[in-house]
Amino acid sequence: MEQLAAVAVDKAAEAVLRRIEAGKKLSAEDLVVLMIASNREILKQIVQTRDELANALSQVRGEIAQVRGEIVEVNKRIDDLQRAMVEMQASFARRLDETNKRIDDLQKAMVEMQANFAKRLDETNKRIDDLQKRIDYLQKAVVDMQASLNKRIDSLYELSIKGRVETSH
């Protein structure tokens, strides 16, 4: 029915345009037909504009949906990167703790080695002191023996000189 009315308005508008071209005066009905045809044309443009806007809006909504999907993907990647960074940080913390433990163990071993070395050095110094005492004792004994021997030699020498003197007299 709408198409039938559209055809009727188109035919009436053509008739009015022919009257205008012929230079005839237009009646009130002719003016109404021109207004209806004009309104119909404006309505077509409005419908066309509405359809174009609907298409553009649909495209924009599609692009928004696509951008939202991309945002979701970017957020997933950010979350994955955060997880990876947390794992790396935990790994570095573990490795640092292990390294610190090894350093502590090495330091403890070095302290023990130093204590053992100091103990051995003290023992060696004690042995050196004991040896020095023995050497001092032996030196004193040698000096005493030498003095005793010198006295005996001197006594023998005196006896030998006295014996020669007596035999020569």
Q: Give the pLDDT of residue 157.
A: 86
Residue 146: inside a domain, yes or no?
Answer: no
Q: Give the pLDDT of residue 169.
A: 63
| Distance between CA atoms of residues 8 and 32, nearest Å | 13
| Distance between CA atoms of residues 22 and 31, nearest Å | 16
Terminal Cα-to-Cα distance of the chain (whole angstroms): 190
Please state whether the predicted TM-score (pTM) of the whole model is above 0.85: no
Q: Give the pLDDT of residue 96.
A: 98
Q: Give the pLDDT of residue 110.
A: 98
Residue 130: inside a domain, yes or no?
Answer: no
Residue 126: inside a domain, yes or no?
Answer: no
pLDDT along the chain (169 residues), means of 10: 77 84 86 85 94 97 97 98 98 98 98 97 97 96 95 88 73
Residue 147: inside a domain, yes or no?
Answer: no
Most distant CA pair in the chain, distance: 204
| Distance between CA atoms of residues 99 and 107, nearest Å | 12
Q: Give the pLDDT of residue 76.
A: 98
Residue 61: inside a domain, yes or no?
Answer: yes
Q: Give the pLDDT of residue 99.
A: 98
Residue 151: inside a domain, yes or no?
Answer: no
Residue 168: inside a domain, yes or no?
Answer: no
Residue 154: inside a domain, yes or no?
Answer: no
Question: Which residues form the domain of 83?
Answer: 2-121
Instruction: State the total domains in the chain.
Output: 1
Q: Give the pLDDT of residue 71.
A: 98
